[in-house]
Amino acid sequence: MNIAVMPGSFDPVTNGHLDVLERALKIFDKVIIAIGENPRKQYLFSVDERKAMLRQATKGLPVEIDHFSGLLTDFAKNKGAVAIVKGLRAVSDFEYEFQAALMNRKLDNEIETVFVMTRGMYCYLSSSIVKEVASLGGKLTGLVPKQVESALRKKFS
């Protein structure tokens, strides 16, 4: 079975994330969504809240949802993954992700990094911009799944 890990903060999950996931599932038998925990970052949603939103958004898909802290390559190896899937929106994403991919290869050259370009309709979309729009009471239709929109409205009410 070809397993890939798709890491991210998913704070919150967006339709852009789901687009990349659906396309990765055409390449891999199973994708493990890996919620990264970084003690230096401040999150809007807890890991458990992010897991719950991802479970709802990916219902029926061959995915596993987990979280990790530490090295991504260690997590991927422990899960039996052959690849790390990263979504790219713009050239600015590529520069950062390319450096990370090279470091991951240095740490474990048996795990490949696969870049999946997001669809043009999501190239501007990020969790950060979604949170900003939500905090200002803006329209979220088409940006996030309905249950995520509800969770955001609740957080900012």
| Confidence label for 139 from pLDDT (cuts 50, 70 and 90) | very high
pTM metric for this prediction: 0.94
**Residue bearing tokens 């996030």:** 144
What is each CA distance from 135 to 25, 33, 44, 58, 70, in whole angstroms? 32, 26, 11, 25, 30
CA dihedral of residues 56, 90, 121, 138 (deg, nearest 10): 70
**Which amino acids are annotated catalytic?**
17, 41, 89, 127
* Overall average pLDDT of the 108-124 stretch: 94
Name the band, by pLDDT with cuts 50, 70 and 90, for residue 152. Answer: very high
Q: How confident is the model at residue 90 (pLDDT cuts 50, 70, 90)?
A: confident
**Domain count of the fold of the chain:** 1
Mean pLDDT of 104-129: 94
Q: How confident is the model at residue 92 (pLDDT cuts 50, 70, 90)?
A: confident
Domain encompassing residue 25: 3-155
CATH code of residue 40: 3.40.50.620
